[in-house]
Amino acid sequence: MAHRPNYILPVAYNMAGYDPALSQRLFDDPSLTAEDVEVRFQISLKLPLLANILDRNVDLYAAYTSQSFWQLYSSGGSAPFRETSYEPEAWLQFHPEWNVFGFTNTITALGVNHQSNGRGGVLSRSWNRLFATVVLEKGNLALSVSPWYRLPKVEDIDYNSDITDYMGHYELRAVYRWQDHVLQVMSRNNLESGFSRGALEVTWSFPLWGYPYLKGYARYFSGYGENLIDYNNYVQTIGIGFALTDWL
């Protein structure tokens, strides 16, 4: 099943500009430049492993999400993948159906998450987290809060030891469906960092002339932590493309 949105943005433009020094280091090429326009896509799937465990209305899920940033329009002609992150996770999912201020607590989850970019040495980025997620729904509106705790690194060297300074310890999300349109807003680490190292994401999926298998997809992101390799660099991106699935 779909987990997070599955989409492709053939055009994603970083208005803040990418640091060419990082790309030169990534690909060991001092002449390489980083194009501010690239292709971004995400694949996200989940699988129920066990359902209704011990007749307690508790399910066990596993999921995998991959995000890729592809320099398709590179002037050098090689069109490298600037970054790809790999994110497996597993969680127990409860369905308490509690009422909170007119909202229904449809899902509460507890799980473990790993995210890395698959690189070695000084380019390695990874972290492991314990997380919880609480989802509240009312009509066409869904709200979620997802706090997490970063697990200590097992290795002696940690090339992203300050990642929680930029990614924080929580994520807030609101999703609203109006007919076939879905609007989503995500806030991460803004209050915790005093609005200095946070992130804001806004997405909108919309119908394409009644075509049932694909939707238009627009995305705006401003802040830190858009991907792992430059989690501590500020970006401001806007992209347009297509979505197979959305949050709702």
Mean pLDDT of 228-236: 93
Residue 97 and residue 108 in contact, taking contact as beta carbons nearer than 8 Å: no
Give the pLDDT mean for 53-78: 90
126-138 and 141-150 strand pairing:
antiparallel
pLDDT given at position 24: 77
Stated pTM of the model: 0.93
**Separation of CA 129 from chain center:** 14
Could you report the per-residue pLDDT of 9-21, keeping only the tens digit for each? 999 999 998 877 7
The residues annotated with a catalytic role in the active site are 114, 116
pLDDT at residue number 77: 64
Nearest residue to 113 (alpha-carbon basis) of 83, 149, 158: 149
Cβ contact 177:206 at 8 Å: no
Average pLDDT over residues 83-91: 97
